Structure formats: structure tokens, C-alpha cells
Amino acid sequence: MLIKNAKLVDETVQDILIKDGVIEAVGKGLNDKEVIDIGENYLLPLLVDLNVQLTQFDKLDKDALKGGVGAVALIPKPCICDELSLEFVKNSNTLVDIYPLIGALKEEDRLSEIAILLKKGGLSIYTTSDINPYLLARVFEYAKMYSVPLHIEPSNKVFRDVGVMNEGEVSFKLGLGGISKLEEWAEVAKVIQYSQYYEVPVIFKAISTLKSLELISNCKLCFAEVSIHHLLLDDTACYGYNTLAKLSPPLREKEESLLSSLEKIDLLTSLHSPKSTVSKNLSFNEASFGIDSLSFYLPLLYTFLVEELNIPFSTVLNLASLAPAKFLNKRMGKVKEGYLAELVVFDPNSEFTLTTDSLYEGIIFRGTVRGVIKGGKWHSF
């Protein structure tokens, strides 16, 4: 397969020769029997998202590929804590690569079948940070034994039992229970101590505060994942009791803008955790946490980070593709010889507006996915 007239992230226009699902050559004057001319649209590596929550898989391919995503680390609800649930995920017939994260606990005070599940194909171990301290230590021991990084959500259910959004001026005006930033700070600090003691890498899921980024950046074994929503939005989105802005972790105040510490962020995520309209059309206290964002992830990154904020496209792709792909042991994230041909054709000159219920409803997005190369085949939209 030969992709002609491909604009790369460095703005050069090249031809890309693909053989057996791998990029064989990048240059001019290349030849092949199968030729696809993409007319100087961007040819980019497919994105990798390590924080996707799903309860069903029927829309995953459509949403993920439309959003430029080719691989996901899955945090299924309910969690994967036995062989049956792991096999169900592994046998899902999707074009998008699914890497299941296994739940650390089978019950509140009982570990899941961690060793068996890792041997059977679990990517790594996922847990919240507020589990029993002894069991958390055991989880670290398993991670060390099997040489896998832990995926840990720094949260504490005690704070979540009383809070539904960020604790601050907005929550006070709305009369809603607040989730203090102290929750995240304390849990991050605790887990860093475990990480250093056991010498086990930790990927902190969806960090939302500047102090947490600072703490993590000072630990060589720890990595900070941040959602695009926590880069772009703040808790004022909750005004009007807008349940679409009810996310976990909560959107913080403007003064906590993580854009000022972009260099401390290791990974980006769409934080895709879709909830039904029924579960969102409730009072703010009763509504579910979550956002449906996978289907417009790449346009979201491009519109706001690249076009509006002038962040280099290469920087964004490093955070959303190259860096997370390393945790999957996949040689992807670059359009370069020897890398997997997991690619997306992206038209930066087109526009569209979201019309569905969304935090981004009515916003004009720049850029559309025109097709993807996945599994050695071309799939157009």
C-alpha cells in the first residue's frame, strides 16, 4: 500500500510505503500496486487512550476511529476480576485494539485473581488508591513480580460520599457538596511512597491539580495522565446545574489550569466514560459522573490545543499517541520507517458542530477524520 501526498506533522508532504502493516519507507518516488492519494491531508499516528471506560462494545469501533483512536486501555464497568470477564473482553470483535486493565479487587477486602489474569492477557492492574493499605501493598508486590506499571486513580470514597463537584466558590454558589483538592494531593503523595518503596512505576489516572503534577514530576517512577477536559475547562461549566460537566475527577477552578504545567504532563486521555441520557437527566447530586468524548477526540485536541493555543502538533501527538503506546509495548506514535502503520488521515480544513448533548455542544470543531489504516487495510469514512 502506498499513501501519496501525505502531510506529516512536520508539514512536509511525503509518500508512505506500507508493507505487512509496517511503514517501510517515507519519501518521494515510491511505487506500489495499491495507491491511495490523500491530497495533502495530514497522515498522523492513530491515538492511544489509556483511560477508556465502557459497559458495552458495540459502538467502540465507530466512535474510536471517528475520533482518531486506534488502541485503548479499557477500564470496564464492572471491573475485570475473573477469567470469564477477561475472556469476554478479549473475544470482543473490534477493529480497535483493546487492552484490558484488570481490577485489583474482587470484593472490598479480597484481591482478584491477579497472577492468573496477567498471565491470561491482562495489560496491567487498575485500582483506586483508597483500598485497604495492606491490600494496596500486595497489589504493588504483584506489579513488581510481573514487571507491569500500576494504573491508579487517586481518589478517596470518603470525599466522594459528600461531594459531587470541585469544592470552591462555584460549589458554594450552587449549594452543592464539594470534593476537596486535598483528596487528590493526599492520595498522590501516599501512592508515590508505595511506588518508591517497591520500585514500581505508577500511571496516575486523570490528574486534575497543579500540586499533584508537581509531586508526580519529582518521582522518576510516576507518570501523570491528564484529560483534555481538565486542560480546557473549569468548574464554571457546572453553572446551571449542568450535569454534563459532572466529571471524575471534578473540573477545578480557573486558577488550577493545568496548561501552565504542560511540560509536567506525560499522557493525555479523552476520559471517555459515556453515561446514558437517563443517568445524566437527574439532579446534579444524583446524576452520574462521566463524559462521552471518544468520537471527537482528535478534532478536540486539534481545535483547542493546536489551532487556538498554538501548541505544536508534534507535542500533542507525543502526549496522545507516542507516550501512551509505549505502555502498550506498541511501536506506534510516529509516521516513520519501522513503526506500525496504525495511521489516521485527518483533514484540517473541514469543520463540524456537535449537535448531541455534550459539554461541547454548539462549538465549531476544526478537522475531520477521513479514514484510517488499521490491520494493514484502508478504512474510509
Residue 65 lies in a domain: yes
For residue 269, the domain's CATH number is 3.20.20.140
Total of domains in the chain: 1
Q: Show the cell assigned to 23.
A: 511503514
Question: What pLDDT score does 242 carry?
Answer: 97
Residue 380 lies in a domain: no
Q: What is the mean pLDDT of the chain?
A: 96
**Phi and psi angles of residue 16, each rounded to the nearest 5 degrees, phi first:** -120, 120
Question: What pLDDT score does 376 carry?
Answer: 84
CA 105, 109, 114: angle at the middle one, nearest 5?
30
Residue 23 lies in a domain: no
150 and 203 Cβ atoms separated by less than 8 Å: yes
CA 16 to CA 244: how far, in whole Å? 41
Residue 348 lies in a domain: no
Residue 356 lies in a domain: no
Question: What pLDDT score does 355 carry?
Answer: 83
Average pLDDT for 340-369? 95
Residue 168 lies in a domain: yes
Q: How many CA atoms lie within 13 A of 315 on its CB side?
A: 11
3-state helix, strand, coil in the chain (%, to 5): 35, 25, 40
Count the Cβ atoms, other than its own, within 10 Å of residue 333. Answer: 23
187 and 131 Cβ atoms separated by less than 8 Å: no
Q: Residue with C-alpha cell 485494539?
A: 97
Count the Cβ atoms, other than its own, within 10 Å of residue 256. Answer: 20
CA 224 to CA 213: how far, in whole Å? 7
Residue 350 lies in a domain: no
Average pLDDT for 137-165? 96
Q: Show the cell assigned to 25.
A: 519507507
Q: 198: pLDDT confidence band, cut at 50, 70 and 90?
A: very high
Q: Which domain holds residue 328?
A: 45-334
Residue 54 lies in a domain: yes
CA 284, 103, 246: angle at the middle one, nearest 5?
15
